[in-house]
Amino acid sequence: MEDLLRPVYQERASQSNTLGVLIIEKKKPISPITDNFDVILLIIVKDAETSWYVKHYEFDGKTAAMHIVDKELLNHWIDTSTFQRAVEWISNGKTIFDRNEYVANLKEELSYFPQDKREYKLAMEFAKLTKSYSESKDLYESTQYLDAYSKILRSLHYLARLAIIEKGYHPEVIVWNQVKRIDPEVYKLFEELTKSDEDLNKRVELMLIAVEFALSSRAKLCSKHLIDIMKSNDVPWSFGELKVHPEVEAYTLNLSSMVEYLTDKDILEVILIETKGNIYHRKYKVKSV
């Protein structure tokens, strides 16, 4: 396979802005990792005119997809989990060109998973979890049990990703197979929800209790990224100020539910600023211990 694709990647490797080339081959009939292509060719470049360019090929009854990705976009994918396959492509792909050990260093960083990036990802998944849990609870209380089940299953997915990150690993595309090895307790919750003989509404009720406990016990750890940002300023923050902070961008869509949850748990406190007509502007600060 690599030999057949050599004319394609050699041309790219000869260009001065190409940092590395990896190849990822399909290993089973249905392969989400390769989007069901027989092979993925990942070409990492710098200063690209187009941040992500994709081209499809077919040869000898095989299919291939070439992805040319600017390193800045690739780093964004890795840091924010917006394109999860990228982490697996880099971690498991075979390096066939590496300029100045760029790919080797990237692989090492992924395996090391620095603390600051871990805290960033924990905050993102925690924010998603607070929102999904809140929606599931509301649906359950409205007796919309099927929709509540769907949301609580999604909540467990976020909890699984949190558990994986806590252990120092990047979540894979196939999360439950990974969490089964890394955190059996979280996997057991998944089994109880999906395989129990209890009525659907009872299963959802029990999972809401379990997820609430998981949220509460992880709140301080998983919100550290946001808390550190808020502590950088001595004055209370308005929600609008937090929302536009560049370091919060990756979880800004779920920030409201996260802030409300942290306020409810007395991790954040509300400061009321008087405006007009007995209306107060609500601001937030980290509660002193």
Q: Is the pLDDT of residue 9 over 90?
A: no
pTM, two decimals, is 0.85
Q: How far apart are CA 176 and CA 190, in angstroms?
A: 9
Question: Angle, to 10 degrees, between the axis of helix 184-195 and the axis of helix 200-222?
Answer: 160
Quick one: 67 and 127 in the same domain?
no
Q: Return the pLDDT at 165.
A: 92
Q: Residue 189: its pLDDT value, please?
A: 94
pLDDT tens, position by position, 62-95: 899 999 999 999 999 988 888 888 988 999 899 9
User: Which residue among 85, 112, 139 closes a domain?
Assistant: 112
We report the CATH number of the domain holding residue 37 as 3.30.460.10
**What pLDDT score does 31 carry?**
84
Last residue of a domain, one of 112, 147, 163: 112
* Same domain (yes/no): 222, 245: yes
Q: Edge-to-edge, what's the strand order for the sheet holding 62-70?
A: 52-59, 62-70, 39-45, 18-25, 94-98
* C-alpha–C-alpha distance, residues 220 and 231, integer Å: 14
Q: Where are the alpha helices (DSSP H) in 144-183?
A: 145-166, 175-182
Q: What is the mean pLDDT of residues 202-224?
A: 95
Q: What pLDDT is stored for residue 7 in this prediction?
A: 78
pLDDT at position 129 is 96
Domain CATH for 157 = 1.20.120.330
Same-domain pairing of 119 and 52: no
Domain count, the chain: 2
Q: What is the pLDDT of residues 150-201, one digit of tens each?
A: 999 999 999 999 999 998 888 877 788 889 999 999 999 999 999 989 999 9
CA distance 44 to 287: 44
Given a cut of 80, is residue 5 above it in pLDDT? Answer: no
**Mean pLDDT along residues 238-261:** 94
Instruction: Please report the pLDDT score of residue 284 as a whole number.
Output: 96
Average per-residue pLDDT in the chain? 91
Residue 179 is part of which domain span?
115-286
Q: 124 and 82, same structural domain?
A: no
Same structural domain, 100 and 123: no
CA 289 to chain centre: 30
Q: What is the mean pLDDT of residues 128-135?
A: 96
pLDDT of residue 152: 96
Strand order through the sheet with 268-274:
237-238, 280-286, 268-274
Burial class (CB in 10 A: 0-12, 13-18, 19+), 24: buried
Residue 105 and residue 121 in one domain? no
What are the tens digits of pLDDT across the range 19-38?
A: 999 999 988 888 888 988 99
Residues 14 and 125 in one domain: no
Integer angstrom CA distances of residue 49 from 12, 17, 53, 134, 204: 14, 11, 10, 42, 49
Q: How many angstroms separate the CA atoms of 205 and 226, rounded?
A: 30
What is the pLDDT at residue 2? 66
Is residue 253 located within the same domain as residue 148?
A: yes
Q: Is the pLDDT of residue 111 over 90?
A: no
Residue 196 CB partners (closer than 8 Å, separation 6+): 203
pLDDT of residue 219: 95
What confidence score (pLDDT) does residue 53 get?
94
152 and 9 housed in the same domain: no
Of 56, 77, 112, which residue is a domain's last?
112
Q: Is the pLDDT of residue 277 over 90?
A: no
Q: Give the alpha-carbon dihedral of 156, 160, 163, 168, to 10 degrees.
A: -160
β-pairing verdict for 39-45 and 62-70: parallel
Query: What are phi and psi for residue 103, nearest 5 degrees?
Result: -65, -40
Single-letter residue type at 284:
Y
State yes or no: pLDDT of 289 exceeds 70: no
Residues 120 and 261 grouped into a single domain: yes
pLDDT at site 1: 63
Q: What is the mean pLDDT of residues 40-58?
A: 93
Same domain? 130 vs 266: yes
Helix, strand, coil % over all residues of the chain, rounded to 5: 60, 20, 20
Please tell me whether residues 239 and 269 are part of one structural domain. Answer: yes
